[in-house]
Structure 1
Amino acid sequence: MSINTVAHLNFRGQARAALEFYQSVFGGQLLVTTYGDFGMPAGLPDAGKVVFGHVVADNGFRVMAYDVPGAEPLPAADAPTTRRENGTTITSEPFFLSVRGETVEEVGALWAALADGATVVEPFGPAQWAPAFGMLTDRFGVTWVLDVAAEYVPA
């Protein structure tokens, strides 16, 4: 048996913009279907929101997203937060998205693109466990962990 796990992100009216941004960072094909495409009358507030969307790239990147119907954006005070404090990560978020690549240059380019409009939690640079690591919360409130795979040395 073969299975895949793909992150499915829930937004409050920002799914299309987030998916378009992720496509600009990772490349690949974008598919967006709205509630209106599924028959919701055009005059209703949610008709233009995303009921199903995904980005699929040849480099292995995949993400899915939709807009929670009827949901308004969260007030900033209610948004999840992540920060570094005394060398540890403190967070109220239930998950992070992790991106791992093979070279500092490859992952550094993704970092630079994701960092546009983001809040940097931990700057991208050398780490004890990896040639490079960084953490940021993007402009859509999604926290990403990016790192470069350390070379495996068998015991």
Structure 2
Amino acid sequence: MSVKSVTHLNFRGEARAALVFYRSVFGGDLAVVTYGDAGAVPDPAESGQVMWGQVVSGDGFHVMAYDVPARLPWKRGENAFFVSLRGQTAQEVTAYWEKLSAGAAVARPLAPAPWSALYGMLTDRFGVTWVVDVANGHDG
């Protein structure tokens, strides 16, 4: 088993450009899944925006990013990141989730998602937002 935490950056329509830029700086592989790719398009104008993306380089650099949908609050520079906690098994992820959720505000309960066996989002008692999931084939 292994668990990994990664900075997960939040944008409004600029995630792809930011990921391309970070790849130009740090090198590595770019992976992007749009809302359209995932069949999760609440607003057709956002179908080409990034639902999940990352840059991973061979020397250890790793950053994730997405475009916050227009229906959710977002202001540049505020709520600019999450901490992504990704594990290899549901059992491992669930154990961390149970501990992190003590005193937390759960935004999305830990449950199966189209892109992961388990995914959840919470803001812990210190105000840090965590996205927790089981790694899948997109995990660079």
Structure with more strand by fraction: 2
For CA contacts below 8 A with separation 6 or more, give which structure has more relative contact order: 2
Structure with more helix by fraction: 2
User: Is the radius of gyration larger for structure 1 or structure 2?
Assistant: 1
